[in-house]
Structure 1
Amino acid sequence: MSRIGRPLKVLAAVSAVALAAACSSEGGAQNEGVDAGQEYTIAMITHEAPGDTFWDKIRAGAEAAAERHNITLNYSNDPDAGEMATLVQNAVDSDVAGIALTLAYPDQVGPAAQRVAEAGIPIVAFNSGINDYQNYDVPMYFGSNEQLAGRTVGERIGQDGGGKALCIIQEQGQVALETRCAGVTEGFPNTEILYVTGTDLPSVQQTIGSKLQQDPSVTHIVTLGAPIAQAAQQATSDTGSQAEIITFDLNADVAKAIENGDIAFSVDQQPYVQGYLAVTALWLNLTNGNDIGGGQPVLTGPSIVDETNIGPIVKYAENNTR
C-alpha cells in the first residue's frame, strides 16, 4: 500500500506567530525570564479525562506562560460537562483575574462561560468549541480547525486509493472529536465511525482488532489521539491487518512511529501552543487591554507531521512540547 503523499502546509494563523513574538518581548524582561509587574491568578478549566496524556502538553504550555508572566495558574478538569460547568462557577467565586476553558460540550458549559463574560472577567476558549465560543460572548479562541483537518485527512485517503476507512472516536459526543470524523467522512465518504472507551486502552485495542477481523476491507484507520493510535498499531499487528494508520496529535512514541514509517502521519493541533497562547492572551488583556484575533479564531493547526518533517520534531515530542 502506498504512503500518503505530500504534507499539508501548516494552516496556523499569522496572528499566532505575532502573539508568540509579543510573548518573548513584552515588558523587556526576556533575559530574566519573568515579567515584572502585578501578579495575577488565572484559572484553566478543561474536559481532560483521567489518564489522557494529551493534556500534559496543554498544561506544559500554560505553565510556561504562567511562569513567564508572573501568573499563578489554577488548573482543574472534569470530563463530565455538568461538573465542568461547576468548576467554571467555582473559579468565578474564587475571584480569579481571568479564565481559560475548553468548550468540548458547549451546550452545557457555554452558559457558564457566558456568565463569566457578563461578570466582566476576561475569558478565552481554546482546544474545543471553535464554532461555538462566540455564541457565549467569549472574545478569543485558540485551536485547530477540526472540520478542515478531518476533511483533509479524508481527501488524502482518497488520493491514496483507500478502500474503506475507520474513524475511531474515544469520547462519544465530544464536539471536536465528532467534528474531526465528520470531516473525514466529508472528504472520504466510505468511512465508518467506531466508538471506543478512550480511558480503557486494552478495550480500545480489542474493539479495533475485532472490527478488523470482521471487516478485512478496511484500508485506513484514523485515530483522534496518540494513545489510541498506539492501540490501533497493536490491533493491526495482532490481526495481521495491512490497514494504514493516521492519527491526530503526537507523543514521543507516535513521533518515532512516524519516523519509522509505522504511522503515515499525524494531524498536530499543537496543544503546547494552545496552552501557552491562552494564558498569554489573558495576561495581555489584563495588562494591556489586548484582544487577540480580531474576533476570529487564532489557528494552531492543522499542522501535518509526516516523514518529511518529523526529524527535528521527535526531540520536541520527547520534551513534551509537541
Structure 2
Amino acid sequence: MNTPPPPDASRRTARGTAVAAATAVCLLLAGCSGGGEAGGSGKDAAGRPGGARMKVALVTHGAPGDAYWDLVQKGAQVAAAKDGIDLTYANDADPAGQAKLVRDAIRDKADGIAVTLAKPEAMKGPIAEARAAGIPVVGLNSGIDAWQAEGVLEYFGQDESVAGRAVGEKLNGLKARHTLCVIHERGNVALEARCAGVKKTFGGQTQMLYADGTDMDTVTASISASLHQDPSIDEVVTLGAQYALAAVKSVKETRSKAHVATFDLNKDLVAAVRKGDVQFAVDQQPYLQGYLAVDALWLYRTNGNVSGGGVAPVLTGPAFVTKKNVAAVAKYAADGTR
C-alpha cells in the first residue's frame, strides 16, 4: 500500500543558513519565542492554523451500554490528553448510522478519523470521502481483512481468525466435546471470524447460536434454551465479557455441566475467572486499541509516521487470561483499563 505524505509535509522544508541566522537574532532579542513553524506560517506541526488543537473523531459500531467501548474510549482519551488533541467519540451499531457519523466528522473538518470496520461495506463510501477531503483514517478493533482494501492508513486490533483458532486448540486441551459459540451481533465480521476460527481447530462439535446482544435477558434465555435442548453441550464460548456472565447465569439456572470461556475482559469477568466461573478469557486489549489509534493519527499528522508501514496490522492480541495469571491484570481491570 502506497503511503501518502502527511498534510503540509511539503511546507516543512529546511531554510538552511537563513533560518539559522534568523533564529540566532531571535534568541538575542528579548520576548522572541521559539514556538511555531519555521518561516512564520502560523501553523503548528499538525498543520492547524494559529496553533489550534488537532481534532480527531473516534467512530465505532459500539452498542449503547456495552462496557467494552468504555475501555476503548479511556485509551483514546489518554492518548488525546498526551498529544493535545480535541477528541470526539460517537457510536452507532447500525451500519448506516455509523457511516453518517463518519460523514459528520468530515463535515466538521476533523484532522483525523479512527473507525471500526465491523461492517466494512458500509464504511467504503465514507472512508473514500474522508480521503478525498485530505483526512487520514485509521482502523481499529474490527475489519482486519478489509482495512487495506478500504484505503485505511493503519489498523490496530486482533486477528480474530487467529484468536478463534487458538481458542479451539485450547478447548481441545481441556477435553471439551461440544461447544456452543454465541454470536451477539449477526453480520459482524470480527465476531463471525472468532467462531469460524474455533470451529476450524476444535476437534469436537461446534454449534453457533445467534442472540440479540442489545438485550441481555434475551441472551441469557437463548443460552439457557440451548443448554436445555442439548445436554451434551459441555462448553459455552461467548464473544464478550458481559455475555460470558450471562452464560454463567444460564449454566447455573439449567444446572448444566457446561463450562464457560470468552473473548474480552472487564473487571467483573476478572472476578469470574478468579472464582472459577469462567475458565479463561481472550484479551485483545481494547484500551490499547483506542490509545494507539488516536496516537497514530497524531504521529502521522506531525511526523509522517505510519505503523506497520501501511502494509501490516498492529496486533493487540490475543492473550489468554486464566486463573493462573489473572492476578497480573486484576489491578488494571479494577482501574477500568483492562
TM-score band by shorter chain is 0.7 to 0.9
| Equivalent position to 1:233, from 248, 255, 259 | 248
| 2:181 counterpart residue number | 167
Note if contact 1:248-1:267 (Cα within 8 Å) is conserved in structure 2.
yes
Q: Distance in 2 between matches of 1:318 and 1:200?
A: 25
Amino acid at match of 1:302: P
Which portions of structure 1, spanning 4 or more consecutive aligned residues, are displaced by more than 3 angstroms? 35-38
| 1:45 counterpart residue number | 59
| 2:231 counterpart residue number | 216
Note if contact 1:110-1:133 (Cα within 8 Å) is conserved in structure 2.
no
Does residue 141 (structure 1) correspond to residue 142 (structure 2)? The answer is no
5 Å-filtered alignment, 1:65-144, equals 65-144=79-158
Q: Distance in 1 between matches of 2:114 and 2:228?
A: 43
5 Å-filtered alignment, 1:25-64, equals 39-64=53-78
Identity %: 48
Does residue 310 (structure 1) correspond to residue 326 (structure 2)? The answer is yes
| 1:21 counterpart residue number | none
| Equivalent position to 1:184, from 198, 211, 216 | 198
* CA offsets 1:3-55 (integer angstroms, 9 cap, x no match): xxxxxxxxxxxxxxxxxxxxxxxxxxxxxxxx997520100000010111100
Cα displacement (A) at 1:285: 0.5
Q: Distance in 1 between matches of 2:52 and 2:328?
A: 37
Where does the alignment leave 5 or more consecutive residues of structure 2 unmatched?
A: 1-44
Does residue 155 (structure 1) correspond to residue 203 (structure 2)? The answer is no
Q: Distance in 1 between matches of 2:120 and 2:136?
A: 18
Q: Distance in 2 between matches of 1:116 and 1:309?
A: 43
Cα displacement (A) at 1:93: 0.8
RMSD across aligned positions (CA): 1.4
Q: 1:82 to 1:160 in 2, by over 3 A?
A: same
| Equivalent position to 1:296, from 288, 312, 326 | 312
Q: Distance in 2 between matches of 1:217 and 1:110?
A: 43
Decide which structure has the larger Cα Rg and report it: 2
Amino acid at match of 2:186: Q
Q: Secondary structure at the match of 2:145?
A: coil
Moved more, 60-69 or 158-167: 158-167
Amino acid at match of 1:259: R
Q: Distance in 2 between matches of 1:195 and 1:204?
A: 9
Cα displacement (A) at 1:160: 1.8
Amino acid at match of 1:291: V
Q: Distance in 2 between matches of 1:117 and 1:267?
A: 34
Cα displacement (A) at 1:119: 2.5
Q: Distance in 1 between matches of 2:237 and 2:52?
A: 46
Relative contact order higher in (CA < 8 Å, ≥ 6 apart): 1
| 2:280 counterpart residue number | 265
Q: Distance in 1 between matches of 2:220 and 2:330?
A: 25
Where does the alignment leave 5 or more consecutive residues of structure 1 unmatched?
A: 1-34
Note if contact 1:103-1:110 (Cα within 8 Å) is conserved in structure 2.
no
The alignment's TM-score, normalised by the length of structure 2, stands at 0.83
Cα displacement (A) at 1:161: 1.6
Q: Secondary structure at the match of 1:204?
A: helix
Q: Distance in 2 between matches of 1:58 and 1:45?
A: 11
Amino acid at match of 1:142: F
Q: Secondary structure at the match of 1:154?
A: helix
